[in-house]
Amino acid sequence: MKNDKPQITSVQASAGSGKTYNLAKRYITLLLERSDSASPVSIKNVIAVTFANKAAVEMKYRVIEYLKKAALSLDTGDILKDLNLSEKEKSVCSAKILNDILENYDNFNISTIDSFINRILKACAINVGISPNFKIEKDISENLSFSVDSFLKKASKSSSYKNLLSEYIMQYLILEKSGWFPKNDIYNEVKNVFRKTGYTGKNIESVESGFEEGLVSRSVKIRNLTQTFADKYLKLDINGHFKNAVKKVLEEDDKIFHRLKVPKKFSSTELKYNANAARDIAADSLWEEIVSAVSELYEFYAQNYYGVYGKIFSNISVEFDRQAKNEEIVFLNEINRKTTDFFKSADSIMPEVYYRLSERYKHFLVDEFQDTSFVQWSVLKRFLEETLANGGTFFYVGDAKQSIYDFRGGSSEIFYKALQDFPQRESEVITLGENYRSHKTIVDFNNKIFSRENLERYLKEVYEDDNLEIYDNILNVYSSSGQNFNAKKTKGYVDIEVLDGDLSEDAPKLKFLEHVKSALERFLPQDISVLCRTNGEAFEAGAWLLEEGYNVESEQTLNLKNNSLVKQIISLMAFINSPLDALSFASFISGEVFQKAAGISSKECDKFLFEQNKNKKNEVFYKAFQDKYPELWNAYIEEFFLKAGFIPVYELTISVFEKLKIIESFPEDKIFALRFLELVKEFEKEDSGINNFLAYFNLLNANEEILYVKNSSANAIKVMTVHKAKGLQFPVVILPFLKLSEQKIDKPYFDNSGGDIKLLYVSQDTAKFSKKIKNIYDMEKAKLLLSEINVLYVSMTRAECELYAITTQKGRTKNTVAALLGSNVFKDGSKEIYKIKEVKYEKISDDVSGGYKAVSYNLPETDLQAVDCDDAKRYGAMMHFALSKITTLKNKDAKKEISAAADCAKRKFLFDGLKNIPENLESFFENDKIQEIFNFNEREVFNEKEIVTASGDTLRADKLIEKTDAVIVYDFKSSQITEENIRQVEKYKKHLGEIYGQKPVFGFLVEINSKKIVKV
């Protein structure tokens, strides 16, 4: 049967308009609408790709949540309203699909686009000459540095390499770059090219040698023509500025050409004369020839300046690829390029690709499509050609206004490319016009600021000297940016401050802190997010908050290297690794970790350090401490000192945690301590030894993801960059550094409009002398401005209830945001009390009480529940879980077992009554009958025991006692015992009787609250 629906659906979803909801709806609809047909759509035939891991997790959660509700005939809103199915059919089909997902979770294809492309590369690795078992690495620095060194070494032996390096050195000398670090220059430029080629999937176009000769010959030509002009026509009544320009060229040496310092008058094709002076046709003609020669020089410079870098890059990349292949590594930046290389090859037949993937996709869904790079689109396009040709569909959601990842190859243009590339396919465009995130005042404000009319006014005001046609794409992107507010969100507050540049430097800080203080009168710290354009700004805003004593969650505060506790552990490790390292030892004993554990005061430690500094004897530092405080040394340091080098770093770290009681003494830093343990564990997958670990830790860049605590339980103000906040929303948003600035064009400029990438030198200066370069410059300038406006749009559309922004205008500032705001600089709306949905945090398990093995087992788990029910049920659930952690108390220290169970419950649940759980458990076990339940031999007791029935169903008994002459089953209940509970235990007894044959089976129900025991 022919499908009468469009094959391509483009959903334009502005901020807060429910794009994830619509993706989930589309996914579920695809599965349900033909679930009862002869050829239903399987989950393995549908693939959804997102931009970020968090979005993939959220979409999976939503799909499963909606299917669960539909299967249980609960309210799913309008997500299933378009299906021509009865309620019963929806329920049955949803249950069937949900079961399919649970049984075949690997086929539940919702992942990031990077993960999807990685799967393709893994499946087709042999075809592109890499190992199928390749590992993905993020940082290319070490491998690239090695490859650069290898290239330089080969230059001493190979004539071709030597000639290439000589060409580079000559260019380096001609341009007289500051400093003499050509190796650093090569490394930095090549690293930049590696990054860009990865995002485009293209190779660098080769440029012929001869930059030096071409520069010299063109300079000579300009000088000769200018000299001729001066000899013949400088006596004419020519405008003085033009005369001075000619004289300057003749007086200066060749550096004026090599450094592109030719006077601006040489960009004017029309020679200017003084008033009433007669024009000289021959002078005009020669002037035009000079201007043409100057333009030719600038164009040659732009097209050839990076030629030698391109050739060096090509040679270094050969060594780089060889090394990566030997180590079975593929760098994250290369995945897109290598996958594209495969599809360019003759082996890339789609049936073969599907065969290798063991799947065939009939329906594609893409989230945040505007963040897709052109190289990623080229891969998706190959799949879509096959899919659409066979009746499949393509559904994508995004917003060109939120395209802010141009530095990763993303482009707002990509959003419109899908429809352009498949013009023959029936398509539809859906616009989501309602904002479900922000309250009315915020929606109205953003509608005014980002309207086409306001942007057009801004461009005319700020860029009046430019050809405004180059900014048409900006106006097109924002042509329909207006949104409707949701009827349930009619409030909101906006406060935009433009501070006078004459105010004190502290003015922005004071205004920012004033906003924070005001917001905290109505919101919790965790409801407030401070968004900044750069990491530096985020660091500064975080510092302001920390100075005032606020709890802050930011990259600054969540980085292990910035955490005081981790610094002290590293100091201890450094001392253990090198006992003569007096600085590390002094740092450790001066810290709170050691002083709190050892019970020594800070004053006492300072006194010891002062005395050692005065001591002129050449005495080993730690020996002096050992002699003066032998008890402290033996109790808290010697064990680590002796173990070093004989046990793994991970086990040594656990010993430090236990001995110094780090988790117990520093609960506020617990998550950092446990993240540090994860880091150590990750290190030991590849390496070993404390010396190697310290080197590994020190070499980690401050921005490496592994250094950051991913989930914080702190009720803290969040500080982050706008790019990190994309896709998120917050009750209150504060923008302390609101700005809209013109960004510089990258050097080199990557022209990937053709088959290969051309590396061009494009700047404002070169654009003045060449129309070709000016066209490129204008195009890139407009593109960068659009990206900046998009960043501003994203930052100002994250707020739900209140939005604050501060900008400072200082003299001739390049920050043009005030011009964009225009007359819309105001305070509007009202400050209200809102009912904010409580945030549920994930925490990392912290069971270090069991030592090395226990932590090794528990560490990877993230285990936290927030039970959303009344106190009695919470208490029952909490007690039920704690009891599941106690097998028996026979021949054991009861208090210790109960305490351990209570600790486990504390990590499992988020509940105010947890502080009383040890007392509650002790009270529970005061009952003699209860004690009998927990007085069997350890080997006879099984908690949470699974019972498999003859039909294959699984039951789970709370406690099963398997004695030689009988079997006893206990079921603990947190509420009053019901008939259903009794039938459940009878079911246990029946199936256990079938399993154990002649052994008698006894069943009991235990009411936790009343301690009542009922025999079944």
Q: Is 183 annotated as a binding residue?
A: no
**Among 298-307, 805-814, 906-915, which stretch is predicted with the lowest mean pLDDT?**
906-915
**Among 702-706, 827-831, 837-841, 845-849, which stretch is predicted with the lowest mean pLDDT?**
845-849
Q: Is 403 annotated as a binding residue?
A: no
Q: Is 15 annotated as a binding residue?
A: yes
Q: Give Dmax (Cα) for the chain.
A: 125
**Number of domains the chain is built from:** 5
Q: CA 956 to CA 942: how far, in whole Å?
A: 11
Q: Are residues 125 and 143 in the same domain?
A: no
CB atoms within 10 A of CB 337: 21
- The DSSP code for 113 is H
CATH number of the CATH domain containing 609:
1.10.486.10
The pLDDT score that the predictor gives to residue 848 is 42
Q: Is the pLDDT of residue 448 over 80?
A: yes
Q: Is the pLDDT of residue 398 over 50?
A: yes
- Average pLDDT (565-578) is 90
Please state the separation of Cα 831 from the chain's center in Å: 33
**Tokens 């009270």 found at:** 923
- Average pLDDT (299-318) is 88
Q: Is the pLDDT of residue 775 over 70?
A: yes
Residue 222 corresponds to which tokens in the numbers above?
């300009």
What is the share, in percent, of the chain residues with pLDDT greater than 90?
29
Residue 373 lies in a domain: yes
Please state the separation of Cα 57 from the chain's center in Å: 14
Rounded to whole angstroms, what are the CA distances from 930 to 874, 885, 889, 921, 968?
A: 21, 15, 11, 11, 14
- Average pLDDT (588-602) is 90
* CA-closest candidate to residue 828, choices 864, 806, 794, 802: 802
Residue 157 lies in a domain: yes
The pLDDT score that the predictor gives to residue 294 is 95
Q: Are residues 756 and 676 in the same domain?
A: no
Yes or no: say if 209 and 167 are a contact pair by the CB < 8 Å rule.
yes
Q: CA 735 to CA 729: how far, in whole Å?
A: 14
Burial bucket for residue 659 (CB in 10 Å: 0-12, 13-18, 19+): middle
Q: Are residues 627 and 606 in the same domain?
A: yes
The pLDDT score that the predictor gives to residue 870 is 45
Residue 448 lies in a domain: no
Q: Residue 524 is part of which domain span? A: 484-528+728-829
CA quadruple 301, 302, 303, 306: dihedral sign: positive
Q: CA 597 to CA 729: how far, in whole Å?
A: 42
Residue 613 corresponds to which tokens in the numbers above?
């500094």
Q: Is the pLDDT of residue 88 over 80?
A: yes
Q: CA 178 to CA 989: how far, in whole Å?
A: 86
DSSP labels for 559-584? BGGG-HHHHHHHHHHHHHH-TT-HHH
Q: Is the pLDDT of residue 383 over 60?
A: yes
Q: CA 400 to CA 407: how far, in whole Å?
A: 15
The pLDDT score that the predictor gives to residue 915 is 55
Calculated CA dihedral for residues 678, 680, 681, 682, nearest 10 degrees: 90
Q: Are residues 203 and 294 in the same domain?
A: yes
Q: Are residues 590 and 684 in the same domain?
A: yes
pLDDT digits (tens, 9 = 90+) for 138-172: 778 888 888 888 888 888 888 888 888 888 887 77
Q: In a 3-state reduction of DSSP, which class is residue 829?
A: strand
Please state the separation of Cα 13 from the chain's center in Å: 22
Q: CA 175 to CA 596: how far, in whole Å?
A: 60
pLDDT band at residue 688 using 50, 70 and 90 as cut-offs: confident
Q: In a 3-state reduction of DSSP, which class is residue 10?
A: strand
Residue 410 corresponds to which tokens in the numbers above?
């993303």
Burial bucket for residue 645 (CB in 10 Å: 0-12, 13-18, 19+): exposed
Q: Is the pLDDT of residue 360 over 90?
A: no
* CA-closest candidate to residue 128, choices 114, 112, 117: 117
pLDDT band at residue 342 using 50, 70 and 90 as cut-offs: confident
Residue 911 corresponds to which tokens in the numbers above?
């509940």
DSSP labels for 913-972? GGGGHHHHHHHHTTSHHHHHHT-S-GGGEEEEEEEE-TTS-EEEEEEEEE-SS-EEEEEE
Q: CA 969 to CA 798: how far, in whole Å?
A: 54
* CA-closest candidate to residue 768, choices 263, 249, 306: 263
Residue 473 lies in a domain: no
**Among 187-201, 586-600, 972-986, which stretch is predicted with the lowest mean pLDDT?**
187-201
Q: Are residues 789 and 675 in the same domain?
A: no
Helix 113-123, helix 374-389: angle, nearest 10: 70
pLDDT digits (tens, 9 = 90+) for 209-249: 788 889 899 999 999 999 999 999 999 999 999 999 999 99
Q: CA 294 to CA 312: how far, in whole Å?
A: 28
What is the share, in percent, of the chain residues with pLDDT greater than 70?
89
Residue 220 lies in a domain: yes
Phi, then psi, of 109 in degrees rounded to 5 = -85, 75
CB atoms within 10 A of CB 489: 20
pLDDT digits (tens, 9 = 90+) for 598-648: 999 988 888 888 887 777 666 678 888 988 999 999 999 888 878 877 888
The pLDDT score that the predictor gives to residue 845 is 38
pLDDT digits (tens, 9 = 90+) for 889-947: 888 888 888 888 877 776 555 444 455 677 888 888 888 889 889 888 887 888 877 77
Q: Is the pLDDT of residue 958 over 80?
A: yes
The pLDDT score that the predictor gives to residue 123 is 78
pLDDT band at residue 456 using 50, 70 and 90 as cut-offs: very high
- Average pLDDT (534-561) is 84
> Considering just the CA atoms, what is the radius of gyration of the chain in Å?
35
Q: Are residues 409 and 493 in the same domain?
A: no
Residue 718 lies in a domain: no
Among 275, 295, 327, the domain-final residue is 327
Yes or no: say if 987 and 994 are a contact pair by the CB < 8 Å rule.
no
CATH number of the CATH domain containing 916:
3.90.320.10
Q: Are residues 633 and 687 in the same domain?
A: yes
**Among 265-279, 798-812, 938-952, 991-1005, which stretch is predicted with the lowest mean pLDDT?**
938-952
Q: Are residues 321 and 346 in the same domain?
A: no
pTM: 0.73
Q: Where are the alpha helices (DSSP H) in 259-404?
A: 281-304, 307-326, 335-344, 350-357, 374-389
Phi, then psi, of 844 in degrees rounded to 5 = -90, 135
Q: Are residues 289 and 167 in the same domain?
A: yes
- Average pLDDT (954-982) is 85
Rounded to whole angstroms, what are the CA distances from 743 to 554, 635, 776, 923?
A: 26, 59, 15, 68
Q: CA 734 to CA 736: how far, in whole Å?
A: 6
Q: CA 549 to CA 531: how far, in whole Å?
A: 19
The pLDDT score that the predictor gives to residue 952 is 54
Half-sphere exposure of 933 (CA within 13 A, CB side): 29
The pLDDT score that the predictor gives to residue 911 is 44
Q: Which residue has the higher pLDDT, 609 or 341?
A: 609
- Average pLDDT (944-970) is 78
DSSP labels for 571-638? HHHHHHH-TT-HHHHHHHHTSHHHHHHHT--HHHHHHHHHHHHH--S---HHHHHHHH-HHHHHHHTH
Q: Are residues 312 and 345 in the same domain?
A: no
Residue 352 lies in a domain: yes
Q: CA 471 to CA 782: how far, in whole Å?
A: 6
Q: Is the pLDDT of residue 250 over 50?
A: yes
Q: In a 3-state reduction of DSSP, which class is residue 1000?
A: coil
Yes or no: say if 340 and 375 are a contact pair by the CB < 8 Å rule.
yes
The pLDDT score that the predictor gives to residue 851 is 40
Q: Is the pLDDT of residue 865 over 50?
A: no
**Among 318-322, 448-452, 530-534, 838-842, which stretch is predicted with the lowest mean pLDDT?**
838-842
The pLDDT score that the predictor gives to residue 954 is 65
Q: Across-strand partners of 829?
A: 493
**Interacting residues of 79 by C-beta distance below 8 A, sequence separation 6+:** 21, 24, 25, 28, 66
Q: 3-state SS string over 507-554? A: HHHHHHHHHHHHHCCCCCHHHEEEEECCHHHHHHHHHHHHHCCCCEEE
Residue 144 lies in a domain: yes
Q: Is 17 annotated as a binding residue?
A: yes
Q: Is the pLDDT of residue 985 over 50?
A: yes
Q: Return the H-helix or E-strand segment holding 877.
A: helix 871-884
Q: CA 76 to CA 58: how far, in whole Å?
A: 17
Q: Are residues 318 and 340 in the same domain?
A: no
CA quadruple 191, 192, 193, 198: dihedral sign: positive
pLDDT digits (tens, 9 = 90+) for 31-45: 888 655 555 788 888
**Among 264-268, 298-302, 337-341, 832-836, which stretch is predicted with the lowest mean pLDDT?**
337-341
Yes or no: say if 690 and 644 are a contact pair by the CB < 8 Å rule.
yes
Q: Is the pLDDT of residue 107 over 80?
A: yes
- Average pLDDT (266-284) is 92
The pLDDT score that the predictor gives to residue 948 is 63
Q: Is the pLDDT of residue 849 over 50?
A: no
The pLDDT score that the predictor gives to residue 338 is 80
CATH number of the CATH domain containing 66:
3.40.50.300
pLDDT band at residue 563 using 50, 70 and 90 as cut-offs: confident
Q: Is the pLDDT of residue 856 over 50?
A: no
Half-sphere exposure of 486 (CA within 13 A, CB side): 15
pLDDT digits (tens, 9 = 90+) for 741-752: 878 888 888 888
Q: Is 16 annotated as a binding residue?
A: yes
- Quick one: how many helices (H) and strands (E) in the chain? 42, 24
**Among 353-362, 376-385, 726-735, 798-807, which stretch is predicted with the lowest mean pLDDT?**
353-362
Half-sphere exposure of 183 (CA within 13 A, CB side): 11
